[in-house]
Homo-oligomer: A and B are copies of this chain.
Amino acid sequence: MPTPIPERISPRLLHTLKALAKRGGLKMSIPIKSEELGRELGISQQTASKHILELFSLGLLERMLGTRNQMLLVTQKGQSVLWMEYQDYKVVFEENVKVLARGMVIGGLGEGRYYLNQEGYSKQFRKKLGIMPYSGTLNIRLLPSHTGLISKLRSSEGIDIEGFSMGHRTFGSVKCFPARIKDVECFLVFPRRSHYDDTLEVISAKHLRTALNLSDEDEVELEIEVS
């Protein structure tokens, strides 16, 4: 499971890279003629050749040009690009899946702390999540390319945390998903009813900003167990 630097590449290059991987180019250097690759992809030899060169210059392909034909090997970086894509399809078709959400730490306004300190929530967190959350949430603004997750979260079950009333104030029900940021266990807290929003709220037993040495604007990867 490779996950160093996940960049997105253009769909057409991805398509070509996948074809090479399908031929076994992940594990070993494979011999392939540009004409042959082109035929498989339904494009010309010239275009296939150009794609190979582009993939190479992006560092997604290793290449040895012999006299008879070239040998190609998908690099680690290339593998991680394909792996991300594979994860996307898993999200689409599988019920239980670990999803990577990338985004940026943003400053909270203190409402997270206000909510969490409500007995109505924190009692349930202790009981259903088995943690005593540090008071305060970490807010993560998703990268635009990762906001598609939100609908998936919306339609997934999660761990139910019931809403309640306190005096004249109402606190809505939320659902939680087990998650981690760089091996630190945490939970994603997701409101059951909300308007579309690209920000995720995360709680944990530890103070995440300290434990992970995070500041505003830092980019983080949150691994969420959706089910």
Contacts and interface: CB of A to CB of B under 8 A. Distances in A.
Interface of A: 8, 11-12, 14-15, 18-19, 21-24, 26-28, 30, 36, 39-42, 82-83, 85-86, 88-93, 144-145, 147-152, 154-155, 196
Contact of A11 (B11, B83, B152): B11
A91 B12 CA distance: 19
A60 to B, nearest CB: 14
Given A23-B151, A24-B151, A40-B147, A92 B82 contact: yes
Contact of A151 (B30, B147, B151): B30
Nearest to A25: B151
Contact of A86 (B21, B39, B89, B149): B89
Number of identical monomers bound together in the oligomeric complex:
2
Contacts of A22: 88, 91-92, 148-149, 151-152
A27 B91 CA distance: 13
Given A18-B89, A83-B93, A86-B89, 8 more contacts: A11-B15, A18-B92, A21-B92, A22-B148, A23-B151, A24-B151, A24-B155, A40-B148
Nearest to A92: B21
A163 to B, nearest CB: 23
